[in-house]
Amino acid sequence: MDLSKVERMAPGLLAPARHASKALVDRDIANRRAAVYLILDHDWHMEELYESFAVQAFAERVLALSATLDDDGTVPVVFSSGREPFLEEIRLDNYRGRIGQLHTQVDWGWGGMSPTPCVVQWGTTRSPVLPIPLSS
């Protein structure tokens, strides 16, 4: 896979993008294309993970994976806090500290995310999403 865009725009993500690319090759799915969305739980139980930058590190790995599956260099981010979801994006040109910057704009929720399939509206595109919860 051509990772020149990652190398040019986000050299700090080149190693994780190479790992993601290798994992896709190893599973014989390297030539597939997919849009990647990042849906983050934003409740009090996750506060320590946001403050320790673990969520930021995870988002960077997701962005690196996305760069191997979709060449636009953008991952829509949905913060779920039990209220109206907060939608933004993380890109190859703005990823450093982005999750920390965004999560301060979202109120803390009290419950976890539901693993129920949903539809995310991003711009003019409506995409079905199956959340895969990662426990804290």
Q: Is residue 117 part of a domain?
A: yes
Residue 119 phi/psi, 5° resolution?
-120, 130
- pLDDT of 56 above 90: yes
Q: Is residue 134 part of a domain?
A: no
Number of domains in the chain: 1
H helices of 1-135, in order, are: 4-9, 14-26, 47-51, 54-69, 98-103
- pLDDT of 99 above 60: yes
Q: Is residue 135 part of a domain?
A: no
Comparison of pLDDT for 112 and 14, the residue scoring more: 14
pLDDT at 136: 43
What is the Cα–Cα distance from 32 to 86, expressed in whole angstroms?
A: 29
Note whether 30 and 2 are within 8 A (CB).
no
- pLDDT of 43 above 90: no
Which of 3-7, 75-79, 83-87, 91-95 is the most confident on average? 91-95
Mean pLDDT of the chain: 83
Q: Is the pTM of this model over 0.85?
A: no
pLDDT at 101: 95
Range of the domain at 103: 4-129
